[in-house]
Amino acid sequence: MNPNLIADRPTFVTHLECSLTGERYAADRLHGLSRAGKPLLVRYDLDMVRAAVPRATIAARPTDLWRWRELLPVRRTSSIVSLGEIETPLIAIPRSSGGPNVLVKDEGRLPTGSFKARGLVMAVAMARELGVTRIAMPTNGNAGAALAAYASRVGIETIVFCPDDTPEINVREIAMQGARAYRVNGLIDECGAIVGKGAAEGRWFDFSTLKEPYRIEGKKTMGLELAAQFGWRLPRAIFYPTGGGTGLIGMWKAFDEMEQIGWIGAERPKMFAVQASGCAPIVKAFEAGEEHAERWTDAHTVAAGIRVPRAIGDFLILRAVRESGGKALAVGDPAILKAVEDCARRDGLLLCPEGGATLAAYRAALADGLVDEEDEVVLFNCATGLKYPMPEANQALDKNAVIDFGTL
Ligand SMILES: Cc1ncc(COP(=O)(O)O)c(C=O)c1O
């Protein structure tokens, strides 16, 4: 049995904090947004972590997500839920990227086939610890699947609302894993409004992105893992497909915590928030020098995961991108699909469209001189490409006819 799942380990959460005002909230309680209507961030006693957990201790453990226990909010080992949250590999894609040091962090290998497993495994473990019995969530697909899987595993009831054009496979996966799944004739924020209404009536707990504080702690492990995989330093640039932005915000938080503990130095990657041209509220706000983004109307893109017209953590995404010296970039659907195809055909790695968006954005950034060809760059492929529609391949062969092998 993996010791990370069964060993009791000390935990160091001190309190939660409003990401806008800094107002403090008690740890070990159920929380939604802060009184200012903004996401809450979990805070730790990092001096205590430094004293208790040398890097070598982390390095000696099995490499899954729960190895980071002292930097996670779950207090009781019995609250842990797991479907095998492995450390995801970094895979070079030299042929399709043209960059010898471009690595894809392939999150498609996680349970339920996406990085949503990181956030939801943590949020469900905390929900279990804090006695939640019923959860609802709006989703573009992958988050709902991860929620359904983990919640069903621990006997928590789930109700999930998806835009009605969510890929069929995602909706079926959510239902198959035990959630009540509803297709809604609206976008994700409109699904979120239904969840919010039900939560206000006390019907369920609202698990929308960043509206509960623990998903971000799970997503933070992407940043922790990167540092460990790079030998306790960080790559030059990170390209992240940005919808709600939890992962980008989480990684930025992870870097900060690791620096305060003394596990890494002060250098940071340039953070590139990648959006689709058909839904690019963060890019628009970035370019206008705004701190908050306006809702994007008429949102459309093949990359369903980043079709998020309004992100509640917009200011946190924008802050991280600006502080890092990175940029918010939009790429069109044709460039996204071309990147997916090139990577599959030339490097043998099937990206999801959102992952394709990061490759397309990398190409644009390289052309514009925002990154150099030799730079060590990480692109996030957040879900397995197998969940998404692929071009038809319908050539047939009659085994009973004469086969012209020269034409095959
Ligand atoms: C495959 C994929 N990529 C990216 C995202 C966006 O993630 P975030 O909300 O952290 O910005 C999602 C979210 O649904 C997704 O499913």
pLDDT, tens only, 202-237: 999 999 988 999 999 999 999 999 999 999 999 999
- Ligand 1 centroid to 110 CA: how many Å? 14
Based on the domain organization, do 109 and 120 belong to the same domain? no
When pLDDT is cut at 50, 70 and 90, the band that residue 110 belongs to is very high
Q: How far is CA 336 from the centre of its chain?
A: 18
- Ligand 1 centroid to 241 CA: how many Å? 6
pLDDT at 389 over 90: no
Domain of residue 260 covers 90-113+214-387
User: Residue 95 domain-assigned?
Assistant: yes
- Ligand 1 centroid to 279 CA: how many Å? 13
The closest residue, in CA terms, to atom 5 on ligand 1 is 305
- Token pair 């925002």 is found at 370
Mean pLDDT for all residues in the chain: 97
Based on the domain organization, do 157 and 97 belong to the same domain? no
User: Residue 342 domain-assigned?
Assistant: yes
User: Residue 372 domain-assigned?
Assistant: yes
Q: Could you identify the atom of ligand 1 that is nearest to the CA of residue 219?
A: 10
Burial group, residue 217, by CB count within 10 angstroms (0-12, 13-18, 19+): buried
Angstrom CA distances, 192 to 139, 160, 196, 210, 217, stand at 8, 10, 6, 12, 21
CA dihedral 42, 48, 50, 55 (to 10 degrees): -80
The domain tally of the chain equals 3
Based on the domain organization, do 183 and 218 belong to the same domain? no
Strand, coil or helix: 138: strand
The closest residue, in CA terms, to atom 14 on ligand 1 is 305
What's the predicted TM-score (pTM) here? 0.96
Q: Which residues of 34-62 are buried (b: 16+ CB within 10 A; e: fewer)?
A: beeebbbbbbbebeebeeebeeeebeebe
What pLDDT, on a 0 to 100 scale, did the predictor assign at position 129? 98
Which residue spans within 260-408 are E strands per DSSP?
270-276, 327-331, 377-381
Ligand 1 pocket check: which of 122, 251, 306 to mutate, most ligand atoms within 8 Å of Cβ? 306
User: Residues near ligand 1 with C-beta < 6 Å?
Assistant: 114, 140, 142-143, 209, 241-247, 305-306, 352, 354, 382-383
pLDDT at 167 over 90: no
User: Residue 334 domain-assigned?
Assistant: yes
